[in-house]
Structure 1
């Protein structure tokens, strides 16, 4: 069985960035897993806030077709407090256990957690040891954060792979709607309307009605 692993810095990033692709590949017979690195935990949030987002994530996963998930429970914005080697080992362990053929990770955008997770995934997916199983590594965009980078000063998201999610867009939006505590009303940058509009824009760039864009980092046959 082919396997897809999506690494999400926070609950909802996986659906925002790759929800349609998750649905599509799950329907094509892929086993799909999500690794959520951090969450709304003390000291910035109450534990009750985390439990809400955890329940929302599990509901979204069920709609997306995710069959396996891990939650590392590192406090949001504090992933950088983890020793680099410790964080890398945690991600490598998941790759060892799941052996994904495709890994999708966040683009290193404005959010510090996204940048740190990107760096760790890059190390964990090197084509040596357990990383040899990964045939394609790509980054996804996350509404608001990816688009708030400083153009030409920081890295710009430049997609070179667009997945046609025309048949999956409505279910993606429904899964995103599971995150009631996280998704703002329009014109919020992460609103349902904004997510659908981005999918329409990315789709029309590639001749589809709706699409999800990725930047391929490495691909091997």
Structure 2
């Protein structure tokens, strides 16, 4: 059994970036741990929105088969106000406690600065000699990765066939009613499916998710 940690800056990033992959690993009996770094807060978001989001997270995680969710509870879109060492230490603790074989992290070039900060902190948390991680992959997040491409382009080098799990991914995203949009918005069911189909076409399968390889150890 493999141990996998998904580092998600915001709730639903994990579904957009690797929801099908999560479902695939969980279906094989692998242990998938989700670490959500930030949370919404008042008065920027209403108490009703915050309550609804908590329910959506729980329902989506159950749908995907996520074994455990860790909430770091830093303020969303305000990670640049948090000392970098504090975030580094928080993520390092997650990695050291769960000892994953595989870690998924956001792409550095995403538009949202939270994503870039989490990417950097994740690299610190997973640095060599501090863990037994065999592979680190960066995922693409619709409405973040493609909108921020001028900063650092996402260049996929690893693909995972999710043909049997695209339906699960869409169902999990539909549970995020506060985040799902209507087409042609990137965070719509139609565009999520379209990206997975495009990525699948790049490797000769119907649906896939694409990742950038950060580090891999072959023994």
Contact 1:9/1:117 (<8 A) preserved = yes
Q: Which residue in 2 is equivalent to 1:70? A: 70
SS of aligned partner of 1:72: strand
Shift of 1:43: 4.5
- Alignment equivalent of 1:196, drawn from 193, 199, 205: 193
Calculate the TM-score normalised by the size of structure 2: 0.96
Q: Which residue in 2 is equivalent to 1:19? A: 19
5+ long unaligned stretches in structure 2: none
Mapped to 2, the partners of 1:167 and 1:173 lie a distance apart of 12
5+ long unaligned stretches in structure 1: none
1:83-142 superposed Cα distances (whole Å, 9 cap, x missing partner): 11111111111111111110000102111110000010011100122xx22110010000
SS of aligned partner of 1:155: coil
SS of aligned partner of 2:210: strand
Shift of 1:44: 2.3
2:162 pairs with 1:162? no
SS of aligned partner of 1:182: coil
SS of aligned partner of 1:93: helix
Shift of the 107–188 alpha-carbon distance from structure 1 to 2, 3 Å rule, reads same
SS of aligned partner of 1:100: coil
Q: Please give the root-mean-square deviation of Cα atoms over the aligned residues, in Å.
A: 1.1
Aligned residues: 217
Q: Which residue in 1 is equivalent to 2:202? A: 205
Q: Which residue in 2 is equivalent to 1:3? A: 3
Q: Which residue in 2 is equivalent to 1:187? A: 184
Contact 1:41/1:73 (<8 A) preserved = no
1:155-211 superposed Cα distances (whole Å, 9 cap, x missing partner): 100000110000000011001100001111111111111100000000010101000
* Shift >4 Å, 4+ stretches: none
Calculate the TM-score normalised by the size of structure 1: 0.95
Mapped to 2, the partners of 1:139 and 1:41 lie a distance apart of 27
Mapped to 2, the partners of 1:126 and 1:9 lie a distance apart of 19
Shift of 1:214: 0.3
Contact 1:41/1:49 (<8 A) preserved = no
Shift of 1:47: 3.8
